[in-house]
Structure 1
Amino acid sequence: MPLRLHAPVVLPCDPECSVLRDAVVDVDGGRVVHVGPLATAPAFAGEVRELTGILLPGLVNAHAHSPMVVLRGLGGDLPLLRWLREAMWPAEAKMRPSDIRAGQLLGAVEMLRNGVTTSAEMYFHGEQLVDAVLAAGSRVLFGGAIMDLPGLPWKPMTDEISRWIDADGLRFGPHERVELGYGPHSAYVLSPEALGAVADEARSRGALLQIHVAESPDEDQAQRASHGSVPRLLEASGVLGGRVLSAHSVHLSPEDVSIYTAHGVGVAHCPGSNTKLASGIAPLRQYLDAGVAVGLGTDGPASNDDLDLFEEARLAALLSRVTTADATSMRAADALLLATRGGAAALGRDDLGALEVGRWADVVHVDVDDPAFATGLDAPDSQVLANLVWASGTRRVKDVWVGGEQVVAGGETTLVDRREAQAGVREVARRLR
C-alpha cells in the first residue's frame, strides 16, 4: 500500500540542504514518488502517518567492517599497524562464518537505530554477512575482502566474488538491498598486478571496488618509494577509471587529489577511527573544493568504536574547522549532506542518500521531544539544522523505513530482537578472547 509520511519538517538533503515545512514524503513500490509541502501535495490514496519532528533520508555509511562488533574494545590503545597485526588479525583468524553473521546482525541493528540505512562493508564470508543484512532489513554494498597473505591467496577470493555476481546479479534482494562488489584490502597487501586484475573484474561488471588508501603515514612506505604515492600506483596499475571508493585517504598530496578528481574516485572519510588510531586528519575541505565525492564512514566498530554516523558528521566538521582555522569551512548543512547525499555519491549510487523522486524510500524520523530542540522547529532553518547535527545526533532517532518498510519503530528494530542479537555477539566474544 502507498505510504505518506507527514511531518513538521522534512530535510530532503538536496544539494542546497533545503528545509521543508509542514511537508510530506510519499512512497510507492519502495521508492519516493513525491516530496514537498502538504499544501501543494497531490491527492493521496493510501496509509498516512502523522509524525512529530523531522524526516530525513537514511544515512549512508561509506566504509565499515561491521562484523567486528564481536571484537569491540580489543587492542583499543594501539596504533594502526600494531592494532592490526597484534590484535585484529589474530582474533579474526579464529572467527567462524557464523560469527560474522552474528556480528553483522548486531551491527545492522545498531546502525538502523542510529538512522544508518546503508553501509558499505568490506569483509569475509559474504553469504553470512548478506543474510544478516536481509534479516535486519537494512541495505549493504558488500565488497568481498581480497588479500594476498599466507593461506589467503588473492585470486580465489576474487573469483569467488565474480562467480557470485555472475550468478545472482550486481544487485538483488527486496528493493535491491544488496549490492555486490570487490574489496582489495590495500596496496600494501596486494601487488600492483593483482590490484589491476581485480579492478578489471570490477569494471567489467560495473561493480564498486573498495580499497584502503593512505590511512597512516607509515603503512605504505615501499609503495610510495616505488611510485611516489598510492594513488599514483593505483593509476599506473589500471585500478582507477571504474567505480572506486578510496577509504580513509588521510595522507594525500595535491597531485593525488587531482588524480582522484580526474578519475572520479570517491572518498570515505573516517574521522573517528583515524583520530582514535592517531592516523591523522584527512584534508576534507581540500577534497570537496577539488570536486571529489566524499562520504563518511565509521570504519570497524573495533577501531572507532561505534557505528554512529551523526558522530562522524560532527567530528568531520569540527576537525575541518580546526585544521583550516575557519569556522565557516563546514556548516551543519554540509555535515548532514556528507552523511547522506555525499555518501551515496562516493559509492556511485544515485538512488540513495536523498528524499527525491525515484530514489529508494529510506527514511529516518527524528523525534524532537528533547532539550536539543527546545528552541522549537519554528526556529530559522539554520538553527533547526544546527540543533539536529550539533546537539541531537542519533539519540532521538525514533522510526526508520528502508524501501518503504518500517524497520525501526519507537527506537527498536522491528525485524530483529536487539537483546537476542546482543546475546549472540556476547557468546562469540567469549570464545575469541
Structure 2
Amino acid sequence: MSAARTLVRRRDDDVQEETMTHSEPAPAAGRPVVLRGGTVLTMDETCTVLPDADVLVVDDRIAAVGPALEVPEGTQEIDARGGIVMPGMIDTHRHMWQTAMRGYGADWTLTQYFVWYYLEHGRKFRPEDVAAGNRLSALEALEAGVTTTVDWSHGLQSVDHAEAAVEALRSVPGRFVLAYGNIQAAPWEWTADPAVRAFLERHRDAADGMLGLQLAFDVTGDPAFPEKAAFEVARELGLPVTTHAGVWGATNDDGIRLMHEHGFMTPETVYVHAATLTPDSYHRIAATGGSISVSTESEQSAGQGYPPTWQVRSHGIPVSLSMDTSVWWSGDLFSAMRTTLGADRSREHFEAHLTGETVTHLQLRAQDVVQWATRGGALALGRDDLGTLQPGRKADVVLIKNDASPVSFPLLNPFGHVAFQAQRGDVHTVLVDGRVVKHAHRLVDVDLAAVRREVDATVDHLRGAMGEEAWAGGMYPDLPGTEVLDNPYQYTEYKSHGTHAAREQVFEEHLATERPAGEQPTRHH
C-alpha cells in the first residue's frame, strides 16, 4: 500500500517487522462488525470488565459480548487487542451553536459570557451561523467518542434558526437531542409562539432515535413564577425540560422550590450545574427522581459554583457529565472525567485539612466518572438502550486504541486509563447505531474543508458585524472586574441578591473562624 510504511523494532533479541498504515479503510456499511480481543467495559449495573473479549455488532444492535465469539459469515473484524472497548459517551449539556467561536472566551467569567451572548452579540448569529456551530460541534463530538450530545440550543431566536440547527445535526451521523431555547426572549413568550409549537410537534412526531427533543429554559425564582406557562407547554407536548439550576448570580433555591410546589419536577428533568443550592433543593431533586448534569470545567472556571458532585452523591441523585461550550473549553468528555475527579477529591482533602484530618481512602473513583460519562447520560435522557455494551442494546461503541502512542501501554486499570490517560487522539473507532463513523483515528466520509469554509464565513460575519475594536475587546477583556449582574435575564425585571448567597457550609464556617466577630466578609466582583 502506498501509504504504508515498514518499521523495524527489536524485542527480546528478535527482529520483528510491522506494517502500519494511515489509510486503513473503514468497514463497509451494512455488514456485521466485530471488535476482537479488547478490554471491554460493559458499563452494566456492576460495571463488568471483560479482558480479551469481543463485541459483535449486527445491524444497529449489540449482538453478543464475550471471548472468542463466533460471528456470521462476512463479518468485518477490527483488531481491538491492547485497547479498550466501551459504550459511546454521552454529553447532556453543550451549547453546540457557539462552537464556531471556539476558544474565543478563554479568559471570560460567567458575567462576561452573559454580557457577550445575552446582551451584546448573541442576536448577530444568523441561522447559518447556528448551523455552522452545530455541524462543527457534532463532528467534534464523534471524533472524541461522544456518540450522543444534547444541543442546549438557547440561540434559537426564530424557527429559521431552529430549522438550521436541526439540518446541521441531521447532516452528521451522530445521536443528538435538540434542547430548544431562546435567551433573547422570555420562555413564556417563545413557547407560546404557534410557529415554535408547530416546529416542536413536527420534530417530536418524526423522532427516530437519532434526534430527540427537550425544552431548555431557566427559572429565575421570581415569586410570580412566570415560567409556569413554559412548563405547561412542555407537559402538553410531552417534552422533558432541562434547566440551568443553582448558578451563581442567576438561579437559586427559589426556582427549584417553585418548580416543586407547582408539580413540574419530574424524573425526566435535567438540572445543569446545580452548584449553589442548599440541601433543601437537593432533597427536592432526589425525591422527584431528576438528574444533575455536572460541567466541572465550566463550574470551576466560569464561576457557576463549586462542582457539586460530593453533595449530589450524598443525596443519591443520578449524575451525568457535560462540557458546556467550546467558546471556553474542549468538547471531549475525557477532560470532563479527569477534572471532575480532581475537583471532588480536592474538595474532600480540603474539607479534611480544615479539621486537621487526613483522607486515606477516596470516595469518588475513576469507575464512577466513566459510568457518569456513559450510562449516567443514557439514564438522564431516558435511553435505557444506550450507555452499555449488552446484547440487544443500541450499537454505540468506542474503541480506545493508539499503537503509535507510548501512553497506550501498559493497560492495567482500564477505568483509570480512560479517566486519566486517554484523550481524543486515542479514539480509534466509533460506531453509532451500528455505523462506523470514525476508524483508524479518522472520521469517515467527512469533508472537513467544507465545514471549515462554513465556520470561516460565520467568523467573518461576526467579526464584521462587531467591528475590530469590539472583536478584540471581547476576546481579550480588561483585567479589572466588572459589577456582577443582578439579573442576566433581561426579559424580566425580577432581581434577587439571593443568587449570590454562599452555599458551601464548610467555607462559611471556615470564613467565620477567620474573621473577627461582627466583621463582614469582603466581596470581590
The TM-score, its normalising length taken from structure 1, stands at: 0.88
Partner residue in 1 for 2:394 = 360
The answer (yes or no) to whether the contact 1:171–1:180 under 8 Å persists in 2 is no
Cα displacement (A) at 1:11: 1.1
Cα displacement (A) at 1:365: 1.1
**Separation (CA, whole Å) in 2 of partners of 1:170 and 1:307:** 30
- Alignment pair present for 1:267 and 2:292: yes
Partner residue in 1 for 2:210 = 177
Partner residue in 2 for 1:215 = 247
**Which residue identity lines up with residue 318 of structure 1 in the other structure?**
G
Q: Structure 1's 354 and 160: CA in aligned 2 closer, same or farther, altered over 3 A?
A: farther
- Alignment pair present for 1:344 and 2:378: yes
Which structure dedicates a bigger proportion of its chain to helix? 1
Q: Structure 1's 322 and 179: CA in aligned 2 closer, same or farther, altered over 3 A?
A: same
Cα displacement (A) at 1:431: 1.5
- Alignment pair present for 1:60 and 2:95: no
Q: Structure 1's 243 and 274: CA in aligned 2 closer, same or farther, altered over 3 A?
A: same
**Separation (CA, whole Å) in 2 of partners of 1:43 and 1:318:** 42
Unpaired runs of 5+ residues, structure 2, are: 1-30, 350-358, 464-525
> 1:238-387 maps to which residues of 2 (within 5 A)?
238-241=263-266, 243-302=268-327, 304-325=328-349, 326=359, 328-369=362-403, 370-375=405-410, 377=411, 379=412, 383-387=413-417
The answer (yes or no) to whether the contact 2:401–2:408 under 8 Å persists in 1 is no
**Which residue identity lines up with residue 259 of structure 1 in the other structure?**
R
% same residue: 27
> 1:86-97 maps to which residues of 2 (within 5 A)?
86-87=116-117, 89-97=119-127
**Separation (CA, whole Å) in 1 of partners of 2:321 and 2:275:** 13
> 1:77-88 maps to which residues of 2 (within 5 A)?
77-87=107-117
Q: Structure 1's 372 and 241: CA in aligned 2 closer, same or farther, altered over 3 A?
A: same
Partner residue in 2 for 1:201 = 233
Partner residue in 2 for 1:141 = 177
The answer (yes or no) to whether the contact 2:91–2:320 under 8 Å persists in 1 is yes
**Separation (CA, whole Å) in 2 of partners of 1:215 and 1:336:** 25
Cα displacement (A) at 1:294: 0.7
Larger displacement relative to structure 2 (314-323 or 327-336) = 327-336
The answer (yes or no) to whether the contact 2:56–2:71 under 8 Å persists in 1 is no
CA shift digits 1:158-187 (9 cap, x unpaired)? x545423433435624xx210012112x11
Partner residue in 1 for 2:201 = 166
Cα displacement (A) at 1:198: 2.4
- Alignment pair present for 1:233 and 2:258: yes
> 1:92-107 maps to which residues of 2 (within 5 A)?
92-107=122-137
Cα displacement (A) at 1:103: 0.8
**Which residue identity lines up with residue 107 of structure 1 in the other structure?**
S
**Separation (CA, whole Å) in 2 of partners of 1:423 and 1:353:** 34
Partner residue in 2 for 1:417 = 447
The answer (yes or no) to whether the contact 2:116–2:122 under 8 Å persists in 1 is no
Cα displacement (A) at 1:148: 6.6
The answer (yes or no) to whether the contact 1:170–1:181 under 8 Å persists in 2 is no
**Separation (CA, whole Å) in 2 of partners of 1:73 and 1:151:** 29
Cα displacement (A) at 1:17: 2.2
The answer (yes or no) to whether the contact 1:203–1:243 under 8 Å persists in 2 is no
Cα displacement (A) at 1:207: 2.1
Question: How many matched pairs?
Answer: 414
Q: Structure 1's 42 and 285: CA in aligned 2 closer, same or farther, altered over 3 A?
A: farther
Larger displacement relative to structure 2 (188-197 or 340-349) = 188-197
Cα displacement (A) at 1:281: 1.5
The answer (yes or no) to whether the contact 1:206–1:242 under 8 Å persists in 2 is no
The TM-score, its normalising length taken from structure 2, stands at: 0.74
The higher-RCO structure (CA 8 Å, 6+ apart) is 1
CA shift digits 1:374-424 (9 cap, x unpaired)? 22x4x3xxx232122211232200111100011112222214222331232
The answer (yes or no) to whether the contact 2:220–2:255 under 8 Å persists in 1 is no
**Separation (CA, whole Å) in 1 of partners of 2:200 and 2:419:** 38
**Which residue identity lines up with residue 57 of structure 2 in the other structure?**
V
CA shift digits 1:246-279 (9 cap, x unpaired)? 1111111111111001111111100111122133
The answer (yes or no) to whether the contact 2:42–2:87 under 8 Å persists in 1 is yes
Q: Structure 1's 155 and 162: CA in aligned 2 closer, same or farther, altered over 3 A?
A: closer
Partner residue in 1 for 2:166 = 130
Q: Structure 1's 418 and 152: CA in aligned 2 closer, same or farther, altered over 3 A?
A: farther
Runs (4+) off by over 6 Å: none
Q: Structure 1's 140 and 299: CA in aligned 2 closer, same or farther, altered over 3 A?
A: same
Q: Structure 1's 387 and 65: CA in aligned 2 closer, same or farther, altered over 3 A?
A: same
Partner residue in 2 for 1:394 = 424
Q: Structure 1's 90 and 11: CA in aligned 2 closer, same or farther, altered over 3 A?
A: same
Larger Rg: 2
Q: Structure 1's 196 and 367: CA in aligned 2 closer, same or farther, altered over 3 A?
A: same
Q: Structure 1's 193 and 361: CA in aligned 2 closer, same or farther, altered over 3 A?
A: same
**Separation (CA, whole Å) in 2 of partners of 1:94 and 1:151:** 20
**Which residue identity lines up with residue 307 of structure 2 in the other structure?**
A
**Separation (CA, whole Å) in 1 of partners of 2:247 and 2:417:** 31
CA shift digits 1:58-86 (9 cap, x unpaired)? 11001001120122233433321332123
- Alignment pair present for 1:47 and 2:80: no
**Which residue identity lines up with residue 247 of structure 1 in the other structure?**
V
